[in-house]
Amino acid sequence: MTAKIADLGNSRITHLRPGQLAGTMTRGIPGTLVYMPPEASTEHYGPPLDMFSFGHLCLFTATQVFPGDLLPSTYTDPRKNKVKARTELERRESYMSPLEATLGKTHGLVSLVKGCLENDPRRRPTASQALDRMRDMMASLSPPFLHMNRFQLEKSLTDKSAEAQAQAREIADNRRRLQHLNQANEELRSKKAELETAAEVTAREKAELQAVTELQAVEIEDLSKQSGKPKASKFPDILKCQLPLKWKTTTEMPMGAMVAQAVVIGEKVYIGGGMMAVKKVRGSGERVVGGSTDREEKKRAQLSILECSMTGEGPQWRTIVAPTGGFAMAAVDNQLIIAGGVVPGANVSDHVSVLDSDNKTWTQPFPAMPTVRFMPSAIGYKRWLVVVGGSVTPDDKNLINVVEVLDTSSKQWYTASPLPRPTLRPSLAIIQDTLYTSYVSAEEIPFTKQIFIPTLISNAISCAQASPNNLTQTEWQELPDTLTPFPALTSFHGHLLAVGADDSPSSTIAMYLPHIQQWQKVAELPTPRGGCACCFLPATKQLLVFGGEDENQDHIFTMDICELDTEHN
């Protein structure tokens, strides 16, 4: 028996869906239906049958599409109502069209496949002819499989591209979700930190209130006398308290100082920037009340800064000459810095000067202020110099509420939130990162060519909570009015004190209690003072009060020194 094949074994390596016409026949007609030429159904077939299968194998290899259910070999012509036969090429049109579109109808491989699939066995090429035509194609063209696989490669690339895009979108979505989670985590951490800070502040405020109540002795004698009721044994709801202060002997000062600033550096205090006065004595030994009457000497006095050293026995004094009068003064990194003021006979200054304490000279290592200022105030806070208020002319006609901050590290000026109102020479104090300032509002008083001009006094006071990393981020809020107009503000054992007054002398010392948002009178000065300067000296734990004026509006040439009476019961 002579063996014949109809598909070259192709049906063994493919996986057809159920129902496809790929059944292998071993009785009568050998081979697989979808690969069989028309003559396979007869007994008259020979080598052209194998070439038909070879052409079909080439078509499958080129398109990578297995020829599933084919069109029937016959069809009915509706116009003539006759049954007509289809050619094998017509039956396989859906597979031939992509190949022709890719390679072109004249391509050698297309021509070879069409020749092998001819219905007439005599028109099919022989094996040797097919081999020669394939050699010609290989010699003249690039490898045909690169073209034959184009559809499959493009489809594969398209699928992979779509898959990659889907994965990229999924990755982007996951990144966004992760970013949202990170933001939520940061918000939770921030909220946790705020709650912890609030808890710490609450605990600290409770401790402060407890410390104040333990430190202060309750005096309700006046209330008892007025009401005739016996003295209460427990603290009332609103306390009338008194700090147990122990005052030392009043000490003489070499000069008077009114509305001046007092700045602490170590064990030294610097007083200046206000209305300074020189003490004069008549021939009879009687002191001239109000200081010197010599105009030039008065001008020179405004350029003076008193240095008070609290080391050793009693205060030691020396005088330093400043380049301007009516300046602001503060300490930053243990350096004495003055800003603004007026040079006699010149305009208002914007210069910032630093004292070389060894050589008693002034240098200007920092840039000038953005705004000229006369009688501003300044305070040091960490590495920053904060300059507040003042007038842009050498009088009180053009007051400003501008707050500017110098970063002494970067030597850059920044503008902070302005004060709620313009002010001249406000009193400043910083307690636990909170800046407190009082206000002075100007009267309509003609300019008399004096460096210092009297002003209308105000009880108003505000505070701003500074950001730990950026002092320019501030929010001002109004506090209750002080008990006396324009007192001197200072920190005392972590509490805000308001000392004296300015419209008329006062001996009142009041403490601000933030827990109940009230001012309480806690002590009295030995000497009533108006427009005094004061400071707390941590090195000796003393409260120092300098100068000011008395009831006759004359300069006071003394300072009061006090400390807590730790033996007080």
- Res. 162: pLDDT tops 50: yes
Three-state SS annotation for 98-116 = HHHHHHCCCCHHHHHHHHH
Residues 492/512, Cβ–Cβ less than 8 Å = no
245 and 524 in contact (C-beta within 8 Å)?
no
- Distance from the Cα of residue 536 to its chain's centroid: 34
When pLDDT is averaged across residues 345-365 and rounded to a whole number, the result is 88
Contact assessment for residue 148 and residue 102, using Cβ atoms and an 8 Å cutoff: yes
pLDDT for the residue 468: 46
Of the candidate ranges 54-58, 84-88, 132-136, the one whose mean pLDDT is the lowest? 84-88
Q: Determine the pLDDT at residue 239.
A: 44
Alpha-carbon distance values, 354 to 149, 302, 331, 408 (Å): 84, 18, 10, 11
- Average pLDDT on 236-241 reads 45
pLDDT score for 387: 94
CA dihedral 123, 124, 128, 130 (to 10 degrees): 120
pLDDT digits (tens, 9 = 90+) for 485-531: 889 999 888 889 999 988 789 999 999 888 788 898 989 999 899 99
- Three-state DSSP class for residue 498: strand
Q: Half-sphere exposure of 517 toward its Cβ, with a 13 Å CA cutoff? A: 7
Give the mean pLDDT of the chain: 77
Q: What pLDDT, on the 0 to 100 scale, is given for residue 119?
A: 87
Q: What percent of the chain has pLDDT over 90?
A: 27
- The predicted structure's pLDDT at residue 9: 53
Burial level of 561, CB count in 10 A (0-12/13-18/19+)? Answer: buried
Confidence of residue 448 (pLDDT cuts 50, 70, 90): very low
Does the pLDDT of residue 423 top 60, yes or no? yes
Question: What local confidence, expressed as pLDDT, does residue 89 receive?
Answer: 79
At 526 the pLDDT is 92
393 three-state secondary structure: coil
**Tokens 């040091």 belong to which residue?**
380
Q: 359 near 408, Cβ under 8 Å?
A: no
Q: Structure pTM?
A: 0.57
The yes-or-no verdict on residue 88 having pLDDT over 60 is: yes
CB 116 within 8 A of CB 130: yes
| Site of tokens 């040797």 | 128
Q: Residue 305: what pLDDT?
A: 92
Per-residue confidence band for 23, with pLDDT thresholds at 50, 70 and 90:
very low
Q: Over 60: is that where the pLDDT of 442 sits?
A: no
108-116 and 47-63 helices, crossing angle to 10°: 140
Cα distances (angstroms) measured from residue 14 to each of 11, 52, 68, 94, 203: 5, 18, 11, 19, 82
Question: Does 152 or 74 have the greater pLDDT score?
Answer: 152
Q: What is the mean pLDDT of residues 43-50?
A: 84
Please state which of the ranges 185-189, 209-213, 228-232, 548-552 shows the lowest mean pLDDT: 228-232
What DSSP element (H or E) covers 406? strand 403-407
Measure the CA–CA gap between 274 and 277, rounded to whole angstroms: 10
What was the pLDDT predicted at 197? 87
Per the CB < 8 A criterion, the answer to whether 496 and 512 are in contact is: yes
Q: Which of 66-70, 121-125, 265-269 has the lowest mean pLDDT?
A: 66-70
How far apart, in whole angstroms, are the C-alpha atoms of residue 83 and residue 77? 6
User: What pLDDT is attached to residue 339?
Assistant: 96
- Check if the beta carbon of residue 104 is closer than 8 Å to that of residue 150: no
Q: Say which range, 165-179, 375-389, 470-484, has the weakest mean pLDDT.
A: 470-484
pLDDT at position 384 over 80: yes
Mean pLDDT throughout 540-559?
90
> pLDDT band for position 541 (50/70/90)?
confident
pLDDT above 80 for 86: no
pLDDT of amino acid 532:
93
Looking at residue 524, its pLDDT comes to: 92
Q: Residue 26 pLDDT more than 60?
A: no
Which residue bears the tokens 């020179």? 300
Q: Provide the pLDDT for residue 277.
A: 86
Q: What is the pLDDT of residue 310?
A: 85
Assigned token pair, 566: 């730790």
For 380-403, what is the mean pLDDT?
Answer: 88
**For 191-236, what is each residue's pLDDT tens digit?**
898 898 888 888 877 776 665 555 444 333 333 343 344 443 333 3
CA separation for the pair 457, 438 (Å, rounded)? 10
pLDDT tops 80 at residue 475: no
Q: What is the DSSP letter of 402?
A: -
Q: How far apart are CA 534 and CA 271, in angstroms?
A: 9
pLDDT category at 450 given cuts 50, 70, 90 is very low
> Which pLDDT band, with edges at 50, 70 and 90, does 100 fall under?
confident
pLDDT at residue number 108: 83
Per-residue pLDDT for 263 more than 90? Answer: yes
Amino acid at 28: G
Residue 388 has pLDDT above 60, yes or no: yes
Distance CA 497, CA 443 (A): 27
* Residue range 34-59: mean pLDDT, rounded: 82
Q: What average pLDDT does range 61-83 have in this prediction?
A: 60
Tell me how far apart the alpha carbons of residues 440 and 423 are, in angstroms, rounded to a whole number. 5
